[in-house]
């Protein structure tokens, strides 16, 4: 019997080890897919800007990922997930900076080291894609130092604090607090893959940034909106499909990082719901564009897909397919009419980031308070104490506690991000300068800052700019002797 017990113990240890290995691999796969979404954002953004700003848009997306790797490593992750005493500090994490401490440097083979390292990589990918959402909204007229300042502050402090509130084990809005703790509205917030944490944060930053910068020259003439030339519908559509692809990895993998994670059914349901919501929102937007604008709009189709994905992110693991359908349908309305409101108030958001991410994200954050089921809530979060009887959606027989938590979290994110992003842009304005000069904006950032136009852009610009572009290319071919700097 003693030998049999030894064999059973060894088998149990092997099962646990294999389970941890599988969880780590799922997180790593999710991190790779989420990082690949950066390609999608780059394609969407470069497709929406004018050809004269192609290089600038691409290098901004690359810069975001590179800066995220540094800032998230040094301070961002520690603020977002560092252990803290929730009774005294439910606001921000306080350790794990620079991947230090026993959680990352331990040598116990039975520990969760692989999970923690994989979790860091996934959350870095989340951070990089979140900050780059704003770059599309402020494209073509923000100075490079001002954007770098915003990106560093957002990655290092603004965004990690929001992450800590909802996704850490100790944050004031976290659903993982024990029953004895002061749960937000007795439930904590449901934000599975970030309708609020990621998209409301990024969308609010996009709205504030675009409003403070002002519109591009020629976008609004005597109060009338003028359509600016876009580089490529092909890039926009390719980018949208890449984002849809990456979204499956994001919503399917994130649950494996929590103590209740590892349920393949939860992951599969989240991915299916993402497909349903995205498709519903796309078709709804296309129908609206046909009915109201008499055009089968490619822009409406692409942004409809993204709006549905944004909206389903929060509740992907806790709603039934019919709930995902309704969420996608309303997300389309939020985007479509949000974009029209943006034009009406003359805010120039180049990629419509704020209607997609703020409007649809706000709705997506609210939706679990209406559509989450008790059974799926228990399966996704694994909380104890029968909380699934009171923390499901109002449409499924629960009280309004969960809806109250969702609304409270939404209000706090909007206030927190809006205030700090506005302060950051103000500091940039009075120090390094916020907006490009008129000359540089008219010529384009590629000529003035990045060594010349792309070859595709040269054929579509006035002769004087073609001459400058040719000088830039000649300068590169002779070792950079000539300069293509624009006037001003």
Distance CA 435, CA 44 (A): 23
Domains of the chain: 2-431 (1.10.3430.10), 445-477 (no CATH)
The three state secondary structure string of 69-94 is HHHHHHHHHHHHHCCCCCCCCCCCCC
Q: 228 by DSSP, 3-state: which?
A: coil
Residues 44, 239: contact at Cβ < 8 Å?
Answer: yes
Distance CA 32, CA 38 (A): 10
Distance CA 165, CA 415 (A): 14
Q: How many whole angstroms from its chain centre is CA 288?
A: 26
H runs (alpha helix) in 257-297: 264-293
User: What is the tally of helices (H) and strands (E) in the chain?
Assistant: 21, 2
Burial of 69 (0-12, 13-18, 19+ CB in 10 A): middle
Distance CA 443, CA 449 (A): 11
Calculate ∠ Cα 143-195-160, nearest 5°: 60
Q: Which residues contact 257 (CB under 8 A, 6 or more apart)?
A: 23, 27, 115, 118, 119, 122
Distance CA 98, CA 126 (A): 17
Measuring CA to CA, which residue among 45, 67, 40 is closest to residue 58? 45
Q: Which residues contact 221 (CB under 8 A, 6 or more apart)?
A: none
Per-residue tens of pLDDT for the chain, all 488 residues: 776 766 566 676 555 566 778 888 999 999 999 999 999 999 999 999 999 999 999 999 999 999 999 999 999 999 999 876 545 688 999 888 999 887 888 766 556 788 889 999 999 999 999 999 999 999 999 999 999 999 999 999 999 999 999 999 889 999 988 665 688 998 999 999 999 999 999 999 999 999 999 999 989 998 888 988 888 999 999 999 999 999 999 999 998 877 554 578 899 999 999 999 999 999 999 999 999 999 999 999 999 999 999 999 999 999 999 999 999 999 999 999 999 999 999 999 999 999 999 999 999 999 999 999 988 988 888 765 577 788 899 999 888 999 999 999 999 999 999 999 999 999 999 999 999 998 999 998 888 888 877 766 555 555 555 555 445 445 444 443 333 333 33
Q: Which phi and psi angles does 230 have, rounded to 5°? A: -110, 150
Distance CA 42, CA 309 (A): 18
Q: Which pLDDT value is given to residue 95?
A: 87
Measuring CA to CA, which residue among 136, 119, 339, 372 is closest to residue 266? 372
Residues 347, 210: contact at Cβ < 8 Å?
Answer: yes
Residues 389, 402: contact at Cβ < 8 Å?
Answer: no
Dihedral in degrees, nearest 10, Cα atoms 322, 323, 324, 327 = 130
As a 3-state breakdown, the chain gives helix, strand, coil percent values, each rounded to 5, of: 70, 0, 30
Distance CA 466, CA 464 (A): 5
Q: Which residues contact 193 (CB under 8 A, 6 or more apart)?
A: 250, 251, 254, 270, 313, 314, 316
Q: What 8-state DSSP symbol labels residue 132? A: H
Distance CA 404, CA 402 (A): 5
Q: Which pLDDT value is given to residue 9?
A: 60
Q: Which pLDDT value is given to residue 405?
A: 96
Q: Which pLDDT value is given to residue 467?
A: 55
């Amino acid at each position: 019997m003693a030998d049999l017990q030894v064999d059973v113990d060894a088998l149990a240890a092997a099962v646990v080890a294999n389970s941890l290995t599988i969880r780590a691999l799922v997180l790593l796969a999710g991190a790779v897919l989420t990082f690949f979404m950066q390609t999608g954002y780059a394609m969407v953004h470069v497709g929406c800007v004018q050809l004269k700003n192609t290089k600038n848009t691409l290098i901004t997306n690359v810069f975001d990922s590179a800066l995220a790797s540094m800032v998230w490593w040094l301070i961002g992750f520690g603020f977002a997930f560092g252990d803290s005493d929730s009774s005294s500090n439910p606001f921000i994490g306080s350790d794990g900076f620079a991947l230090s401490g026993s959680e990352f440097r331990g040598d116990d083979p039975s520990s969760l080291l692989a999970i923690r390292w994989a979790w860091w990589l996934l959350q870095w990918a989340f951070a990089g894609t979140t900050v780059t959402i704003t770059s599309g909204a402020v494209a073509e007229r923000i100075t490079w130092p001002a954007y770098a300042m915003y990106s560093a502050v957002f990655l290092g402090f603004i965004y990690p604090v929001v992450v800590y509130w909802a996704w850490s084990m100790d944050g004031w809005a976290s659903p993982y607090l024990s029953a004895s703790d002061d749960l937000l509205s007795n439930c904590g917030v449901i934000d599975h893959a970030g309708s609020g944490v990621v998209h409301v944060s990024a969308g609010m930053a996009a709205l504030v940034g675009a409003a403070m910068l002002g519109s591009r020259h020629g976008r609004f003439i005597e109060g009338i909106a003028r359509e600016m030339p876009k580089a490529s519908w092909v890039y926009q559509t390719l980018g949208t499909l890449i984002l849809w692809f990456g979204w499956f990895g994001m919503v399917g993998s994130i649950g494996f990082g929590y103590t209740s994670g590892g349920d393949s059914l939860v992951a599969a349901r989240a991915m299916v719901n993402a497909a349903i919501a995205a498709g519903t929102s796309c078709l709804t937007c296309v129908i609206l564009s046909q009915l109201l604008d008499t055009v089968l709009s490619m822009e409406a189709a692409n942004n409809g897909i993204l709006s549905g994905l944004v909206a389903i992110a929060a509740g992907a693991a806790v709603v039934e397919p019919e709930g995902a359908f309704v969420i996608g349908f309303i997300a389309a309305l939020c985007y479509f009419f949000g974009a029209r409101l943006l034009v009406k108030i003359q805010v120039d958001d180049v990629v419509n980031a704020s209607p997609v991410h703020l409007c649809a994200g706000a709705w997506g954050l609210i939706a679990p308070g209406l559509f989450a089921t008790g059974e799926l809530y228990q399966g996704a979060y694994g909380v104890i104490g029968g909380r699934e009887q009171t923390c499901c959606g109002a449409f499924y027989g629960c009280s309004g506690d969960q809806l109250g938590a969702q609304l409270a979290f939404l209000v706090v994110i909007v206030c927190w991000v809006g205030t700090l992003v506005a302060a950051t842009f103000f500091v940039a304005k009075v120090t390094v300068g916020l907006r490009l000069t008129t000359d540089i904006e008219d010529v384009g950032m590629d000529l003035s800052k990045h060594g010349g136009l792309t070859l595709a852009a040269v054929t579509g610009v006035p002769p004087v700019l073609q001459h400058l572009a040719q000088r830039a290319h000649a300068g590169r071919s002779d070792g950079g002797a000539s300069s293509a700097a624009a006037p001003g």
